[in-house]
Amino acid sequence: MSFKVAIIGRPNVGKSTLFNRLAGRPLALVDDTPGVTRDRREAQGRVADLAFRMIDTAGLEETAPETLAGRMRAQTESALAQADVALLVIDARAGLTPTDRHFARWMLRSGKPVVLVANKAERRQAAAELDEAYALGLGDPVAISAQHGEGLGELYERLRPFAAERETDAEVGPAEPESERPLQLAIAGRPNVGKSTLVNRLIGEERMLTGPEPGITRDAIGIEWAWQGRRIRLVDTAGLRRRSRIDDRLERLSTADTRRAIGLAGTVILVLDALQPLERQDLTIANHVAEEGRALVLALNKWDAVNEREAALKQLRERLATTLPQLQGVALVPVSGLTGFGLNPLMRAVFAADAVWNRRVPTAALNRWLAVIQQRHPPPLVGARRLRLRYMTQVNTRPPTFALFASKPGELPESYRRYLVNALRQDFELPGTPIRMMLRKGENPYAPG
């Protein structure tokens, strides 16, 4: 059983750089701008053979609880409460600040074990300035450079006792069988449509920062979670604006992080604002999800604020049929992250979309269907002869991917390919998921020679 480490400190001391170094890959956004991290992020960390769970937190600031910075501090306090040990990170170059001293006293009062980490200690003069860190009353500081990976050996020695305690406390017994792979679920959408509020309502705790300020979420934050016994890795993402409106470097990093999270997901919940549904950017995001080959579910949020609900839902379904024809039958679920309305139907739609995304159609059924479909609507003529569709098989799932063997695949019109895809979707019940069809030349490759 691994122990949990919270990485805490004032803004811009290199907490996220240390988090990425211990994770072994760039999970958290890093920028010179103070306060990049807002929500707490969890990941598996490692130093040599020492493994642990770690939490990256927002920079600590003294401010009123109702402000954004105050809500960020509440998230850090929650991380500290969950941790077995905290790393208080200071900037060795800058020396101690009044904020460092204030929060060192706060952490001492918490009673939680604390390891003082002096980051950015690459230079000798920075290391020489570590003497004043003893004034914090947290023992010997560990001098490191998270950017260059220096000093991790001493950090290993300071953390090793916490792993030993867990090993002693753990009961010896047979290893549990590996459970099923968790469903990879991403929450995406425009800024300020209520994604984080919906996430908090789903998981039943104030895990994500929320508020009236647009663009609060910056990182794609993963959460291990379960719904009615089904394991889920849920990722809340930053709002996606049109690229032409993005001129800030940090927002470009957030946007890239969101797109990466969509690419790694299995199913994506695209959150729409019920008061302003299906704007151009909503369709752009939906098209991106389809291009990535992910299953899609549309969550019509803020449904509690809609008056003529039946008419609004009917109008929206009609628009979807014309604006997202490549995702015919996509689930549209009215929800309210504020009140909790519609959460059960939303998760049922997610599981149904995941099942379609993983569905495999038997080859025999596909080829019986292909014979019927050609009788119903024959392929076009190529010169004086009709193009022949010889054989079809499913070559992959996630998303459903099919190979169609034809006499002259390069001559098959795009309109006929779309006809085949739409008929596949309807006849084999594959609603709302991208369907890929690859055209190949030749005879049935599986026929005996």
* pLDDT tens, position by position, 305-321: 999 999 999 999 999 98
Residues 410, 353: Cα–Cα separation, whole Å: 32
Six-digit token string for 359: 């569905």
Amino acid at residue number 403: A
CB-count exposure of residue 397 (10 Å: 0-12, 13-18, 19+): middle
Give phi and psi for 94, each to the nearest 5: -80, -20
Containing 260, the helix (H) or strand (E) segment is helix 249-264
Q: Identify whether the C-beta of residue 15 lies closer than 8 Å to the C-beta of residue 8.
A: yes
CA atoms within 13 A on the CB side of 287: 10
Q: Which of 17, 114, 4, 19 is nearest to 53 (CA)?
A: 4
pLDDT digit string, tens, across residues 344-371: 999 999 999 999 999 999 999 999 999 9
Q: How many helices (H) and strands (E) are present in the chain, helices listed first?
A: 12, 17
Longest CA span, the chain: 91
Higher pLDDT, 222 or 19: 19
pLDDT of residue 172: 41
Six-digit token string for 363: 């080859």
Amino acid at residue number 193: V
pLDDT digit string, tens, across residues 257-284: 788 888 889 999 999 999 988 899 999 9
Q: Where in the chain is the domain with CATH 3.30.300.20?
A: 363-441
Residues 233, 168: Cα–Cα separation, whole Å: 30
Amino acid at residue number 290: A
Alpha helices in 292-362 (DSSP H): 309-323, 343-357
**Pairing relation of β-strands 50-56 and 41-47?**
antiparallel
CATH superfamily of 187-357: P-loop containing nucleotide triphosphate hydrolases (3.40.50.300)
Six-digit token string for 33: 């701008």
Give phi and psi for 239, each to the nearest 5: -65, 140
Poorest-confidence range of 81-95, 159-173, 262-276, 363-377?
A: 159-173
CATH numeric code, 4-169: 3.40.50.300
Residues 181, 165: Cα–Cα separation, whole Å: 29
CATH architecture designation of domain 363-441: 2-Layer Sandwich (3.30)
Q: Where in the chain is the domain with CATH 3.40.50.300?
A: 4-169, 187-357
Higher pLDDT, 180 or 402: 402
Structure-derived torsion over alpha carbons of residues 415, 419, 424, 429, reported in degrees to the nearest 10 = 120
Q: Identify whether the C-beta of residue 431 lies closer than 8 Å to the C-beta of residue 352.
A: no
